[in-house]
């Protein structure tokens, strides 16, 4: 059974979609394939296209490896995030588009693993692309792509990049005890990666710590952080608590005061995974009850998947909904249906 670390608990297999989601994903996939074949593609599109195929057909149907080879491989043979044509979508971005990111490396590695099987992938080659990204502070992230200092980087980037990297390094049998100790020390250092209150950040922190055999170092208090992410929402959970959101430079809520929380199927899946480390039975039961109510809400309104809006900007931040959110919604709905 296929799975992806970004989507906890999801079974990427045939027959896990409801009709409304099936239609949306079919239309999205058809357009994505047409654009990809013409060179207008990103690593993220390849990943989502592959995810859709696994749940629609039970196997990959498009040559995403060929797409990577032709449009998403840099001069040094490393997988890159954006094709040249895709980079032209943003003014002045063409020169920056050829970025070999951890996401692009992991996506190529994961698709190869699905297509060829784990034994058919050169895990060591991909691990060699990631290990040099470990800086003296012990984390693995795209510091060569962006010069943003550690304190101002998005914490989800740090924990997700680390979890993705550890998955590949572990597959290459290069996650040795000395490296585990170095990375664990950095990940649990509150000065480098403090508890964030972001569900995505903490989910990937947990996954990374498990791969490091150090899950006992996961910060306490995640139950309270989860509850905060439900504030001012009738259903579900937001990735973070609006009340706790602060401007990184001003230290105030001034620039974020008009942001509105939204519920997210992906966040609900991350919350579900995080309940495993809640020791308080009553808190865990309360959160699971809300997750069940959210699943039933999606069963009644399967396309109620809102987009985040930045402050008073009237347009959605990114696509109105993504295949990943739709796949998570289908997963939650299927989980709520009695068997």
Asked if residue 127 and residue 110 are part of one domain, the reply reads: no
3-state secondary structure of 243: helix
Asked if residue 53 and residue 67 are part of one domain, the reply reads: yes
Mark which of 100, 121, 142 sits at the end of a domain.
Answer: 121
Note whether residue 329 is domain-resident. no
Q: Tokens 């608990």 appear where?
A: 9
Note whether residue 339 is domain-resident. no
Handedness of CA 165, 167, 171, 176 (dihedral sign): positive
Predicted local distance difference test score (pLDDT) of residue 58: 92
Mark which of 106, 121, 136 sits at the end of a domain.
Answer: 121
Note whether residue 184 is domain-resident. yes
Asked if residue 105 and residue 21 are part of one domain, the reply reads: yes
Asked if residue 77 and residue 63 are part of one domain, the reply reads: yes
Predicted local distance difference test score (pLDDT) of residue 1: 44
Mark which of 219, 246, 268 sits at the end of a domain.
Answer: 219
Note whether residue 79 is domain-resident. yes
Asked if residue 134 and residue 112 are part of one domain, the reply reads: no
CB atoms within 10 A of CB 101: 22
Asked if residue 163 and residue 208 are part of one domain, the reply reads: yes
Q: Can you list the alpha helix ranges (DSSP code H) found in the chain?
A: 19-37, 43-57, 64-71, 84-87, 102-116, 123-130, 155-171, 177-187, 199-211, 222-228, 265-274, 281-300, 323-336
Number of independent structural domains in the chain: 3
Task: Supply the range of the domain harboring residue 273.
Answer: 222-311
| pLDDT in 10s for each residue of the chain, 339 residues | 479 999 998 888 887 788 999 999 999 999 999 999 999 999 999 999 999 999 999 999 999 999 999 999 998 899 999 998 998 877 566 666 688 999 999 999 999 999 998 889 999 999 999 999 987 678 999 988 877 787 778 889 999 999 999 999 999 999 999 999 999 999 999 888 999 999 999 999 999 999 999 999 999 999 999 999 999 999 999 999 877 655 554 444 544 555 688 999 999 999 999 999 999 999 999 999 999 999 999 999 999 998 866 555 555 545 578 999 999 999 999 887 655
Lookup: tokens for 96: 């920056």
Predicted local distance difference test score (pLDDT) of residue 150: 79
Residue 253 · residue 247 · CB < 8 Å? yes
Asked if residue 81 and residue 7 are part of one domain, the reply reads: yes
Asked if residue 239 and residue 161 are part of one domain, the reply reads: no
* CA distance linking residue 2 with residue 58, whole number of Å: 9
| 303 Cβ contact list (under 8 Å, min separation 6) | 20, 24, 321
Note whether residue 319 is domain-resident. no
Asked if residue 89 and residue 35 are part of one domain, the reply reads: yes
Note whether residue 337 is domain-resident. no
Asked if residue 82 and residue 61 are part of one domain, the reply reads: yes
Note whether residue 323 is domain-resident. no
Asked if residue 72 and residue 138 are part of one domain, the reply reads: no
Lookup: tokens for 149: 């200092």
Asked if residue 68 and residue 3 are part of one domain, the reply reads: yes
Note whether residue 325 is domain-resident. no
């Amino acid at each position: 059974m296929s799975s992806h670390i970004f989507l906890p608990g999801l079974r990427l297999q045939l027959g896990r979609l409801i009709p409304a989601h099936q239609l949306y994903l079919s239309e999205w996939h058809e357009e994505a394939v047409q654009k990809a074949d013409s060179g207008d593609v990103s690593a993220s599109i390849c990943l989502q296209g592959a995810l859709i195929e696994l749940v629609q057909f039970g196997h990959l149907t498009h040559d995403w490896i060929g797409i990577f080879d032709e449009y998403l491989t840099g001069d040094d043979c490393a997988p890159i995030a954006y094709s040249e044509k895709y980079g032209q979508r943003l003014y002045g971005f063409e020169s920056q588009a050829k970025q070999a990111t951890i996401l692009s490396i992991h996506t190529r590695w994961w698709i190869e693993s699905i297509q060829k099987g784990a034994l058919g992938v050169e895990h060591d080659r991909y691990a060699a692309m990631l290990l040099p990204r470990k800086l003296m502070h012990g984390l693995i992230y795209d510091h060569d792509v962006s010069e943003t200092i550690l304190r101002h980087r998005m914490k989800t980037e740090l924990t997700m990049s680390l979890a993705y990297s550890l998955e590949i390094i572990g597959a290459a049998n290069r996650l040795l005890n000395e490296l585990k100790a170095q990375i664990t020390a950095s990940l649990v250092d509150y000065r480098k990666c403090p508890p964030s209150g972001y569900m995505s950040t903490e989910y990937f922190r947990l996954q990374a710590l498990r791969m490091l055999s150090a899950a006992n170092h996961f910060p306490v208090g995640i139950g309270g952080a989860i509850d905060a992410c439900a504030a001012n929402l009738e259903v579900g959970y937001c990735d973070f608590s609006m009340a706790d959101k602060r401007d990184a430079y001003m230290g105030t809520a001034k620039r974020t005061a008009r942001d509105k929380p939204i519920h997210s199927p992906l966040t609900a899946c991350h919350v579900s995974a995080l309940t495993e480390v809640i020791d308080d039975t009553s808190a865990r039961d309360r959160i699971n009850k809300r997750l069940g109510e959210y699943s039933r809400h999606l069963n009644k309104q399967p396309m109620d998947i809102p987009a985040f809006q930045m402050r008073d900007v009237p347009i959605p931040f990114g696509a109105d909904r993504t295949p990943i959110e739709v796949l998570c919604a289908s997963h939650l709905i299927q989980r709520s249906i009695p068997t």
